[in-house]
């Protein structure tokens, strides 16, 4: 990883200067006990045989997004909802220069992609923050095909317009579909409602205790009982950057097989998604293939991805995403015939049909982790509550956390127990879990329901210090993060 801009040098070049400057603008969490990024050996940065180098540039900057008649001053990688979209093939070398045109420090994390440590984009853990005016070069070989996205790992910047799809094609694509549609779900407040940095500052100030398990007052203290997807109010929910009143439309032909690549890029909303009049055949989750399974609807937690194939009917059909436990939702249309589109409040009965939870899936043979005995087991207890707001892991908040120390070449089991009344989509960097309770299903983001325990195994084959956190970023930023550290 190299710092390539002259301006960065002027702004204070080396790590020391960068840190000092970052002090006044960076809202990222401060580095953990280790005090700053540790280095691990970087693998050779050459494309796999027959593959190529994909060069890209990202300029995070203040932008105004048109959400469909709603204008949102925010931060983004460009003026479109998918500005910055990155695409290549497994085995390609990605070389992405990120030039920070914001007034805050930033970073880019390639969510779900098993990159090497120094390219993972976590300030304080894998790199120094990218200060305003600086350019940082990310270089990594993407090992697996699949549906991913990227976003900053700096405070709650994801809750602005700073995210985009990252599609990695399979060089041996079976291609049992005619066309594809990338579908990005989002919850939106920035520039039209409360500012994400103000929300997180208020929540941090509550400084809720995380030392215990469930407290007796917890149920009564819930601000948002029910499905408890999140506790923050969002004025809008979006599909591909649009509010339901101004929906996107995918144009196709009856009988076509479409691959949907669905990404939940929301910061704190779980969605339930369905395509009216259709069954979905789920083919992948979090990038990796599953045993195909039909369903009416799918739950998507923050950070999860599902690919589904659908055979289009004849007409105009709503693609509806309900914001779980929040009221409202997001909308788009699929059109294969002329005729009027239904209105924004169209009923989609499939949403109340059979709804798939990711952990009910089974892995495809090709994505199975080899069997083996577990060498080390770690308890990962999720603690905290909404009122007073505070979240932690094993009774500790990030900053005081105790890293899970691992060694290379082991099979490590994380036993994640949700001691709270809210769902937590847990996400691990640099690895993909196999879930023994789901026949070895591979996931990098897994929804742990209230009072549920999920075991998740991985092989320690990628040395580094890797974040393990809740992908409700307000939970993460108020404490629900730790790391898995190779020692
Ligand atoms: Cu998408 Cu550590 O996150
Ligand atoms: Cu959480």
Tens-place pLDDT, residues 129-169? 999 999 999 999 999 999 999 999 999 999 999 999 999 99
418 and 447 housed in the same domain? yes
The residue among 303, 333, 362 that closes a domain is 362
Residue nearest to atom 3 of ligand 1 (CA): 111
Edge-to-edge strands of the sheet including 465-470?
404-406, 481-486, 465-470, 424-428, 445-448
User: Which residue is it, tokens 């999920």?
Assistant: 454
Same-domain pairing of 234 and 338: yes
The total number of structural domains that make up the chain: 2
- What is the 266 CA–ligand 1 centroid distance (Å)? 12
Statement to judge: residues 332 and 472 lie in one domain: no
Q: Is the CB of 467 under 6 A from ligand 1?
A: yes
How are strands ordered across the β-sheet holding 86-89?
Answer: 86-89, 164-169, 146-151, 109-111
Within this chain, do residues 452 and 384 fall inside the same structural domain, yes or no?
Answer: yes
**Residues 376, 469 within the same domain:** yes
Q: Residue 173's pLDDT is what?
A: 84
- Which of 342, 362, 382 marks a domain boundary? 362
Question: Which ligand 1 atom is the nearest neighbour of the CA of 149?
Answer: 1
- Please give the number of the atom of ligand 1 that sits closest to the Cα of 112: 1
Sign of CA dihedral 456, 207, 159, 70: positive
Q: Is 111 in the pocket of ligand 1 (CB under 6 A)?
A: yes
Mean pLDDT by 10 residues, the chain (487 residues): 33 32 36 66 92 98 98 98 97 98 98 98 97 98 97 98 98 90 98 97 96 51 48 95 97 98 97 98 97 97 98 97 94 94 89 96 94 96 95 97 97 97 96 97 96 96 97 98 97
Rounded to the nearest angstrom, the distance between the alpha carbon of 121 and the centre of ligand 1 is 9
Strands (E), 126-244: 135-141, 146-151, 164-169, 179-188, 236-239
- Give the integer Cα–Cα distance in Å for 369 and 372: 9
- Structural domain ending residue among the three candidates 321, 342, 362: 362
Helices (H), 55-124: none
Q: Is the shortest distance between the CB of 303 and ligand 1 below 6 Å?
A: yes
- Residue 345, pLDDT score: 84
State whether 354 and 229 are in the same domain: yes
Query: Do 450 and 385 share a structural domain?
Result: yes
- Do 345 and 399 sit in the same domain of this protein? no
Q: Which ligand is nearest to the CA of 476?
A: 2
330 & 392 share domain: no
Regarding the beta carbon of 305 and ligand 1, being less than 6 Å apart is answered: no
Q: Is 54 among the domain residues?
A: no
Do 370 and 357 belong together in one domain? Answer: no
The per-residue pLDDT for 135 is 98
Write down the pLDDT at residue 214: 53
Closest-CA residue, ligand 1 atom 1, reads 111
Q: Residues 284, 336: one domain? A: yes
pLDDT digits (tens, 9 = 90+) for 95-113: 999 999 999 999 999 999 9
Helices (H), 368-453: none
Same domain, yes or no: 296 and 374: no
Q: How far is ligand 1, taken at its centre, from the CA of residue 83, in Å?
A: 19
What is the span of the domain harbouring residue 391? 366-486
Does residue 220 form part of some domain?
Answer: no
Atom 2, ligand 1: residue with shortest CA distance: 467
Distance separating alpha carbons of residues 331 and 236, to the nearest angstrom: 11
- Give residue 416 CA to ligand 2 midpoint distance, Å: 12
């Amino acid at each position: 990883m190299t710092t390539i801009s002259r301006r960065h040098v002027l702004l204070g070049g080396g790590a020391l200067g960068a840190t000092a400057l970052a002090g006044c603008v960076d809202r990222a969490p401060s580095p953990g006990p280790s005090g700053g990024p540790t280095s691990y050996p970087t693998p050779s940065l050459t494309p796999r045989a027959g593959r190529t180098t994909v060069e890209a540039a990202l300029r995070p900057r203040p932008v105004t997004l048109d959400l469909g008649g709603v204008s949102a001053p925010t931060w983004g990688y460009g003026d479109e909802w998918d500005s910055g979209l990155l695409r290549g093939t497994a085995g390609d070398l990605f070389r992405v220069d990120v030039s920070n045109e914001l007034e805050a420090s930033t970073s880019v994390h390639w969510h779900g992609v098993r990159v090497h440590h120094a390219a993972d984009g976590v300030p304080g853990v894998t790199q120094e923050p990218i200060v305003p005016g600086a350019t940082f070069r990310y270089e990594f070989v993407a090992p697996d095909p699949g549906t991913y996205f990227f976003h900053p790992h700096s405070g709650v910047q994801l809750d602005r317009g700073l995210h985009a799809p990252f599609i990695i094609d399979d060089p041996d694509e079976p291609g049992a579909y005619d066309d594809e549609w990338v579908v990005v779900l989002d919850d939106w407040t920035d520039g039209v409602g409360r500012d994400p940095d103000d929300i997180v500052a208020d929540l941090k100030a509550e400084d809720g205790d995380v030392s215990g398990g469930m407290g007796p007052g917890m149920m009564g203290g819930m601000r948002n009982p029910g499905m408890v997807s999140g506790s923050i109010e969002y004025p809008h929910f979006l599909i591909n950057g649009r509010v339901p009143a101004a929906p996107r439309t995918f144009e196709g032909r009856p009988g076509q097989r479409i691959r949907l690549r669905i990404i939940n890029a929301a910061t704190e909303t779980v969605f339930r998604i369905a395509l009216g009049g259709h069954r979905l055949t789920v083919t992948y989750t979090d990038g990796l293939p599953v045993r195909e399974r039909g369903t009416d609807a799918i739950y998507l937690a923050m950070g999860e991805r599902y690919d589904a194939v659908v055979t289009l009917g004849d007409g105009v059909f709503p693609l509806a995403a309900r914001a779980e436990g929040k009221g409202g939702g997001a909308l788009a249309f699929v059109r294969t015939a002329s005729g009027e589109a239904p209105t924004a409040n169209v009923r989609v009965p499939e949403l109340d049909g059979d709804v798939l939870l990711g952990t009910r899936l089974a892995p495809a043979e090709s994505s199975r982790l080899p069997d083996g005995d577990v060498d080390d087991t770690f308890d990962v207890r999720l603690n905290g509550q909404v009122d007073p707001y505070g979240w932690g892991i094993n009774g500790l908040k990030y900053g005081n956390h105790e890293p899970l120390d691992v060694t290379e070449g082991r099979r490590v089991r994380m036993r994640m127990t949700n001691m709270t009344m809210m769902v937590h989509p847990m996400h691990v960097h640099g690895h993909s879990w196999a879930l023994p309770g789901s026949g070895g299903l591979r996931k990098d983001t897994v929804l742990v329901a209230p009072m549920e325990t999920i075991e998740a195994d991985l092989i320690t084959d990628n040395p580094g210090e890797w974040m393990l956190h809740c992908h409700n970023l307000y939970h993460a930023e108020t404490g629900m993060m730790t790391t898995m550290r190779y020692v």
